[in-house]
Structure 1
Amino acid sequence: MAEEIDIPRKRGRPRKVRPVEGAGGERLARTGLHERAAQQLRHMIVVGKIPPGAPVVEAELCELLGISRTPLREAVKMLAAQGLIELRPNRSARVAPMDAGHIGDLFEGLSSVERMAAEFAADRLTSAELDALRAMQATMERHYEAGDLAAYFEVNQAIHGAILAGAHNATLVEMHRWLLARAERARFFALGARGRWVESIQEHRDILAALEARDGARAGRLLAAHVRHTGTGVLAMLASGGVDDAA
């Protein structure tokens, strides 16, 4: 246990200050709670359990997540910083609607970052990293055959992350993390269209083949096109009203 520290005061006896370091401290436990709440709430938004434009009803979410209002509000602020929730003056927060202009910008940036990563990864992936990508592709194929979209999406995301990690460039990874936090929901919705799901699995096969061949130019071109196709799919769904974009 950490030592208590005496802080001198102008008058009277020294005041004791309780230390906050350590995994068991109240402050750390409270921080962990709102982070876990943010993770759960984020998942609900990404998979559409809470649709775009829906209000954030504190009482319902507190009961659902088993938390009080304080950690929930902290979680909401975290997701607002990622663009998933809108904080509105004198009104309840809401899940951010999907804006076509914003989606276009996101996927343009995402495709550029992933293209560079694939080009580097083709040269820098280790044998073990390539084996891991092959294993993930095989798992994703099984989820595709089973029609399990949620499981497919989870592995799909892991593959994109593995390619970024295989580039061995920390700056690209950080840029990708920022963009993906804002685009992940749109990527999930795009896969909801069966036609896009069929395209996606074939595109992933081609990307893996290019990485295995150590063809950086082709891997980068294919991955960038794959990301742009996803963005185009989201924009088409928005235009057709396939994504609830209530105000």
Structure 2
Amino acid sequence: MEPVPRTLLRDRAYAAIRDAIVTGEIEPGAVVRDADLAERLGLSRAPVREAFSRLVDEGLLESKPQSYTRVTPVVAADVRDAAAVVGALHELVTRVAVPRLFAADVEAMRAANERFAAAVRAGEVEAALQADDDLHDVLVRVCGNRAAAATVARYIPLIRRLERRRFGEGGTCRSVELHDQLIRACAAGDVDGAVRVTAEIWRGLAELADSD
């Protein structure tokens, strides 16, 4: 993790620590200390403590007062629950967004899937997951439902930890073909078809958790 600028310190501390947990730089079960991370990030302890509180609330850290704060293990049931919530919200987002899409939005989804496919072929996990986020974020943005967007952002890190580990074990993350099907449905204005593909994508993530 790199030192962060002294702007929006709480949010930047949160993002840096969250990303380090999701990527495995800080491993499951690792004890974290506010003083240590504050020094690494070039911050005071206050924004790091605030970040810890948020990460505990989101399930990436667990804390026992006056004892420890540590990274939670990757628990299949937690990932399955998160995938169920995020999947349901993506179905809602897709249903609302598809009629509002412009050609440029569909093209942005195609470009993201091309990056996704290239990253999968190259075994570049971070690039693949970022491209996957970019693709689905088009629909979230166009939908304009801030509550859905905030909830998705909250629970995606729990899911990404398992996805990243499976990708590193030789998996292919999500199907490029499913993305293609989703994009074709969006381009055709086929709301029901796009929702069906979205549901299939998120069922696959639930099954990933069940097989862990």
**Smaller-chain TM-score bracket:** 0.7 to 0.9
> Is 1:148 aligned with 2:140?
no
Aligned partner of 1:85 in structure 2 is 61
Change (3 A) 1:187 1:206: same
Aligned partner of 1:61 in structure 2 is 37
Which structure dedicates a bigger proportion of its chain to helix? 2
Aligned partner of 1:220 in structure 2 is 195
Superposed counterparts of 1:191-206, under 5 Å: 191-197=167-173, 199-206=174-181
Change (3 A) 1:175 1:36: closer
1: CA distance between counterparts of 2:39 and 2:85?
38
Q: CA deviation at 1:95?
A: 1.0
Q: Which amino acid aligns with 2:83?
A: F
Of 18, 27, 36, 1:51 maps to 27
2: CA distance between counterparts of 1:170 and 1:59?
34
Query: Sequence identity of aligned pairs in percent?
Result: 28
TM-score (norm 2): 0.85
Contact 1:58 1:69 (8 Å CA) reproduced: yes
> Is 1:36 aligned with 2:6?
no
* 1:88-114 Cα deviation digits (max 9, x unpaired): 122110112233332222111111111
Using the TM superposition, name which of 218-227 and 39-48 deviates more: 218-227
Unaligned runs of 5+ in 1: 1-28, 238-247
Contact 1:190 1:234 (8 Å CA) reproduced: no
2: CA distance between counterparts of 1:30 and 1:137?
35
Superposed counterparts of 1:167-186, under 5 Å: 167-186=143-162
Report the count of equivalent residues. 208
Radius of gyration: which is bigger? Answer: 1
3-state SS, counterpart of residue 166 of structure 1: helix
* 1:64-109 Cα deviation digits (max 9, x unpaired): 2223333322221122222211121221101122333322221111
- Coordinate RMSD, CA, aligned: 2.4
Q: Which amino acid aligns with 1:230?
A: L
Contact 1:103 1:231 (8 Å CA) reproduced: yes
Aligned partner of 1:103 in structure 2 is 79
2: CA distance between counterparts of 1:178 and 1:145?
29
Change (3 A) 1:68 1:167: closer
Q: CA deviation at 1:41?
A: 0.6
Change (3 A) 1:55 1:195: same
> Is 1:232 aligned with 2:202?
no
3-state SS, counterpart of residue 87 of structure 1: strand
Q: Which amino acid aligns with 2:190?
A: D
